[in-house]
Structure formats: C-alpha cells, structure tokens
C-alpha cells in the first residue's frame, strides 16, 4: 500500500516536473526540436558572441526586438542583431558579388533574396555549403532546401492581381486573364517595369516551359497596352498607389503579403489569384560562404523555421511558409487547390531548369509594358 502510495507520489511529481518543463521550456519547439546538432550550433553561436548580421528579413524594428527576445528564450543566446537595411536585393546582390571578387568580407552574413538573386549568388559560388539543416531542425522539408544548402526559405510568395476594393465592383474582379481586356479597365491598370509574375506564368511545377502559353500572354499583354488598359508602371512595393486610386489595379503584384500589409492598415486593397499566372515561390535566406558569424546566422535561419519564428513573421510581415501545416500560406495554397486554382510551386532548381526561356520572355514582356515594343 505504502509502495503504491509512493509510486503514485512519484508519478505525480514526474507529471508536475514534466508540466513545469513544458511551461518553462517555452513551447513545443523547445521540447520537440532540440537536437544535438542544434545544441552544437547554439554553443558555437555563443562563442561568436551572438552577433547576427542579417539583411532585410523582418523590417520592423519592434519585430526585430521580439525576434531577439524569442531567440534568447529558446536558445539562451544574447543575439546582437546588426541589421543590414538594404531593401533592393538586386543591387545588394551585385554589391556582394563585387565584394567577393575583391576578396572582401561580405556586407552581410544572411542575404534575403528570391529566385531572381539566389541563383546568381549560387552561380558565383558565394553561398555556404550546409549539409546539416535537417540534423539541426528535422521538421524542415528536404525539398525546400536550395541545392548545396546555402539557402532555405523565409516565407512563401504568391503573386496575383492587386486591386482597389472601393473602385472595383465584385463582378469586375478578374478570374482569368481575358477579364483584364474588359473595357472597364481602360486607363486604370498599372504593370511593373520588370514584368513581375508574368515571367513565371508559363513555368510548370515539373520545370517545363509552355511556349504556346507564353505567346498567348504576349498577345494579351500587347492588347492590354494597345487598348490603353495598362497605362502605368509601378513597383510591387507601390501598393499605396493602388490604394490611393491613382491606379485601380496592378497586373501583376509580386507577393500577396504586400496587399495584406496594406489591408492590415485599412487600405482598400484586394488580391485576385488568376490560375494562369499565380504561382508559389519562396523568399530565401542565403548564408554567405564568407560570413563573419556563421553559427549565429545559421541559428537565426533555423529560428525562422520554428513555429515561433513563423508566427513572428506572420505577425509583422504577414508572411509565412507554405510547407508547415497550420501556416496561413499553407491554408491559402490548399484553399486555392481546392477551388481549382492550382498555383504551381516553382523551386530554385525548377527555375534554374527554365531560366533561359523565362529570361527571354521576360525581356519580351518588359518591352511591351515599357513601350519599347508594340
């Protein structure tokens, strides 16, 4: 009887300890995701003094403070974030390549880029070779890691048609590309001078390029310009100019989170996913080969994969990745598939396969949009 009572007490104590550990251990990531490789990384980061030199990811200063606090709580590392404020990733990538050529220390340890810049850094052999991402963080899907391990996703982007919800009646919201030829749109549309989203519209998830579709898009774009539907050129970060009514729609917007950010501020913005053009791509975090503090950089990249990191990105950047169930982008991608709009996922290797065709057609579309070609 005494033994059984003692056994019960021990069980109660163990349960209490487990509960305490769960509460004190700051959530599921801490308990479930701690691996020997992660412990070694934490140790190495502490040895570096916790200095993080990272570019562009998490723009809001308040969000960065939260990230630092969360990393302290999760890993016990006092992260000192030296933020590299350089939002033009193309210009920054060119700068990093020049630095590498001159044998200089790169201006950042973590580079934030897309399929436009990451392949360039890969080709220039500037990204680190990392083989142990999944040892450090087993939940990270293998297929999202860029070949060589130099980059992993930061958030998933889905492009589409952005519009002003006050100025566009519901029945005029385009469902397919031809809808943009409706006379309603005359004089009201803007495009981007770099043919964002259009350029990848003919790429399949398997890495094939549909030339016929590209020709059809060229025809449609030409008609939209000729008929005076597309009358302006703005950037993907210029959603304010849609919200202000200067333009009524942007064909096409690089990433939905620009629109969601506007919506969060009360801007009258909406996003339509058009089957023929919408696709899923990632914004990546690239680890530079010559990084000054590689362990802290890696630890940060891992942190951004955890539920806490994803939640932080969701809260401040209105962005997360499409491959963790429970994430907003996961739900959006699933919802689109359920509705019959199946945006293909274009990974870096897929993109690399069709890059010459994409570049060729991008140049054609750009010329039409800019007015260099009728």
Partner 1 sequence: MDTTITAERAAGARLGRFLGARFLLIAFTGAVLSVVLLLLAVILDIAFQDPLDSSIYTLNNFSELYLDPFVYGALYNTAVFTAVTVFVALVLAVPIAWLAERTDLPGKSLVFPLMTASAVIPGTFGALGWLFMFHPRIGTVNHWLMDLLPFIDTPPINIVSVSGMGFISGLGLSSLAFIMLAATFRAMDPALEESAQIHGLSFSQRIWHVTLPLMWPGILAAGIYIGTIGLASFDVPAIIGMANRIFTFSTFVFNEADPQEGPPNFSIVGAASVLMIVVGLLLSWWYLKVISRSHRYTVVTGKSYRPNIVPLGRWWIAGWAFIGIKLTLGVVFPFLALVWASLMPYYQPFSMQALALVSLDNFRQIPWDIFWMATRNTAILTLTVPTILMFVGLAISWVVIRSGFRYAWLVDMIAFLPHAVPNLIFSVAILVIALFWVPESIPFYNTVYIILVVFVIARISFPTRVYNNALLQIHKELDEAAYVSGLGPFGVLRSILVPLLAPATLYAWIWIALLSYRELTLAAFLTAKDNQTLPTLVLNFVTRGESTVAAAISLLLLAFMVPLVVLYFFFGRRTLQLGGA
Q: Which residues bind partner 1 (CB under 8 A)?
A: 53, 59-62, 82-88, 90-91, 93-95, 98-99, 101-102, 104, 107-108, 114, 116, 120, 190, 192-194, 196, 199, 231-241, 243-246, 258, 261-262, 265-267, 359, 362, 370-372
Measured from the CB atom, is 10 or 101 closer to partner 1? 101
Measured from the CB atom, is 262 or 309 closer to partner 1? 262
Measured from the CB atom, is 238 or 364 closer to partner 1? 238
Write down the least CB distance from residue 14 to partner 1, Å.
Answer: 46
Measured from the CB atom, is 74 or 348 closer to partner 1? 348
Write down the least CB distance from residue 374 to partner 1, Å.
Answer: 11
Distance of alpha carbon 300 from its chain centroid, rounded? 16
Three-class SS of residue 274? coil
Measured from the CB atom, is 262 or 343 closer to partner 1? 262
Helix (H) or strand (E) holding 33: helix 28-33
Distance of alpha carbon 363 from its chain centroid, rounded? 24
Residue 98 to residue 124: CA distance in whole angstroms: 10
Write down the least CB distance from residue 82 to partner 1, Å.
Answer: 6
Three-class SS of residue 154? strand
Measured from the CB atom, is 248 or 274 closer to partner 1? 248
Write down the least CB distance from residue 245 to partner 1, Å.
Answer: 5
Residue 320 to residue 283: CA distance in whole angstroms: 10
Write down the least CB distance from residue 192 to partner 1, Å.
Answer: 7
Residue 78 to residue 76: CA distance in whole angstroms: 7
Three-class SS of residue 288? strand
Structure tokens at 290: 């010559």
- Torsion, Cα 86 88 90 91, to 10 degrees, reads -60
Residue 284 · residue 114 · CB < 8 Å: yes
Write down the least CB distance from residue 252 to partner 1, Å.
Answer: 12
Structure tokens at 125: 């052999």
The size of the chain, in residues, is 374
Measured from the CB atom, is 49 or 237 closer to partner 1? 237
Measured from the CB atom, is 106 or 150 closer to partner 1? 106
Which residues are CB-contacts of 245 (< 8 A; sequence separation ≥ 6)? 164, 166, 167
235 exposure class (CB count in 10 Å sphere: 0-12, 13-18, 19+):
middle
Write down the least CB distance from residue 213 to partner 1, Å.
Answer: 20
Write down the least CB distance from residue 339 to partner 1, Å.
Answer: 28
């Amino acid at each position: 009887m005494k033994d059984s009572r003692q056994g019960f007490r021990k069980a109660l104590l163990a349960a209490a300890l487990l509960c305490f550990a769960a509460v004190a251990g700051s959530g599921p990531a801490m308990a479930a995701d701690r691996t020997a490789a992660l412990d070694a990384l934490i140790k190495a980061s502490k040895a570096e003094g916790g200095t993080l030199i990272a570019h562009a990811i998490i723009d809001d200063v308040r969000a960065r403070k939260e990230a630092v606090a969360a990393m302290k709580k999760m890993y016990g590392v006092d992260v000192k974030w030296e933020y590299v404020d350089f939002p033009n990733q193309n210009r920054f990538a060119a700068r990093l390549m020049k630095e590498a050529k001159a044998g200089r220390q790169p201006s950042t340890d973590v580079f934030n880029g897309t399929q436009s810049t990451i392949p360039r850094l890969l080709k220039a052999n500037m990204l680190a070779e990392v083989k142990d991402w999944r040892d450090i963080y087993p939940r990270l899907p293998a297929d999202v890691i860029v070949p060589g391990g130099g980059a992993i996703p930061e958030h998933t982007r889905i492009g589409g048609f952005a519009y002003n919800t006050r100025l566009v009646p519901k029945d005029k919201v385009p469902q397919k590309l031809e809808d943009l030829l409706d006379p309603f749109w005359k004089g009201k549309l803007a495009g981007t001078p770099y043919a964002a989203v259009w350029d990848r519209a003919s790429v399949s998830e398997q890495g094939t390029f549909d030339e016929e579709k590209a020709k059809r898009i060229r025809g449609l774009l030409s008609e939209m310009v000729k008929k005076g539907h597309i009358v302006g050129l703005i950037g993907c970060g210029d959603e304010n100019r849609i919200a202000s009514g200067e333009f009524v729609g942007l064909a096409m917007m690089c990433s939905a989170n620009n629109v969601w950010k506007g919506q969060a501020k009360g801007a009258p913005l909406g996003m339509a996913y058009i089957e023929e053009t919408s696709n899923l791509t990632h914004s990546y975090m690239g680890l530079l080969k010559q990084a000054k503090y590689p362990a802290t950089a890696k630890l940060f990249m891992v942190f951004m994969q955890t539920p806490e990191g994803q939640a932080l990105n969701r809260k401040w950047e209105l962005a997360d990745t499409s491959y963790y169930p429970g994430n907003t982008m996961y739900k959006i991608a699933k919802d689109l598939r359920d509705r019959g709009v199946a945006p293909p996922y274009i990974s870096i290797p897929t993109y690399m396969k069709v890059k010459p065709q994409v570049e060729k057609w991008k140049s054609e579309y750009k010329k039409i949009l800019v007015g260099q070609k009728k």
